[in-house]
Amino acid sequence: MKAVPRFRPAALVTAAILVPAASFAQPAAPVSPSGPVPGITVVGRATVSVPPDRMRVTVRLFPRNVTGQQLEAMADEVATAMRSGGIADAKTALPLSGYLGANSTIAIVGTIVKPTRGSLETTVRSALAAVPDATATALANAYQVTTTYAVDDCSAAETRAQTAAIDDARARAGRVAVAAGLRLGSIVSVNETSTYAQPACNPDFDEPSAGPGNTDPYGPVVVPIAVNAIVTFAVR
């Protein structure tokens, strides 16, 4: 009887080991140059001003030697005067505690749509004229008017400010390169460090705590949007 050769697993293992390594080789990864890439880093700055879509007007009353009931009555009279002057949604905002006592402070809040310097001055004059004389006398030097602006969509203004900040950075880096005897290359990295648009672009504008007000209600009726960008340029 003819002998049947035995199966030898070791032979297969050996054969697998002997397969040329080249058939399994992978392309070598490119080698990056060691060390930092030469460059110039500068800060580009830009500010874009846009007109507000809305302006919140807040009048805070803080007379002394009056009761809480008297203070609330004064606030109601001021709110009525503001509504007659053109701030249709003016209303009294009680303290968070809901309690008014002697020497308390109370606020009246309203909104002007599409404000301009002219419309604001006309509204303020009309409102002041509508305040009863007795209340106006009691509130002399005992009130403060603040304004807060809002822009419905800040994206276009922010894009303009970002572009201008990059342009400013390129100009600054160009001057540095000339002073150093270098040639400016392309942008390597950008880091936007700050965009000052709050609370104008705050989606919670209608909330009482949407942000600090401008204590100069007679200042420019504009919203400044400022961008600072740290930009690194290659040099050669």
Distance CA(211)–CA(202), nearest Å, equals: 8
Residue with more model confidence, 128 or 207: 128
Return all residues near 136 (Cβ < 8 A) that are at least 6 apart. 128
45 membership: H or E segment, kind and range: strand 39-50
pLDDT score recorded for residue 199 = 61
Residue with more model confidence, 51 or 19: 51
- Residue 73: pLDDT over 80: yes
State the pTM of this model.
0.67
Give, in degrees to the nearest 5, the angle at Cα 127 between 121 and 129: 100
- Residue 147: pLDDT over 90: no
Residue with more model confidence, 195 or 150: 150
- Pick among 3.40.50.170, 3.30.110.170, 3.20.20.70, 3.30.200.20: CATH of 39-50+153-235: 3.30.110.170
The mean per-residue pLDDT over the stretch 113-123 comes to: 87
- Residue 49: pLDDT over 70: yes
pLDDT tens-digit series, residues 76-99 = 999 999 999 999 999 998 877 777
Q: How many residues does the chain have?
A: 236
Q: Which of 207, 214, 171, 181 is nearest to 42 (CA)?
A: 171
Residues of the chain with CATH 3.30.110.170: 39-50+153-235
- Residue 186: pLDDT over 80: yes
pLDDT score recorded for residue 118 = 85
The mean per-residue pLDDT over the stretch 225-235 comes to: 94
Under the phi-then-psi rule, with left for phi > 0, alpha for psi from -120 to 50, and beta for the rest, what region is 40? beta
pLDDT tens-digit series, residues 150-183 = 898 888 999 999 999 999 999 999 999 999 999 9
Distance CA(139)–CA(107), nearest Å, equals: 13
Q: Are 76 and 199 in contact (CB under 8 A)?
A: no
Residues of the chain with CATH 3.30.70.100: 54-150
Q: What percent of the chain has pLDDT over 90?
A: 40
Residue 154 tokens, joined:
């800040």
pLDDT score recorded for residue 88 = 93
Determine the number of helices (DSSP H) and then strands (DSSP E) in the chain.
5, 7
Residue 1 tokens, joined:
């009887």
CATH architecture for residues 54-150: 2-Layer Sandwich (3.30)
pLDDT score recorded for residue 75 = 93
pLDDT score recorded for residue 204 = 62
Radius of gyration of the CA atoms of the chain, in A: 34
pLDDT score recorded for residue 198 = 54
pLDDT tens-digit series, residues 31-44 = 445 556 689 999 99
pLDDT tens-digit series, residues 4-35 = 444 444 433 333 333 343 333 445 444 445 55
pLDDT score recorded for residue 102 = 78
Distance CA(35)–CA(236), nearest Å, equals: 16
Across the chain, mean pLDDT equals: 80
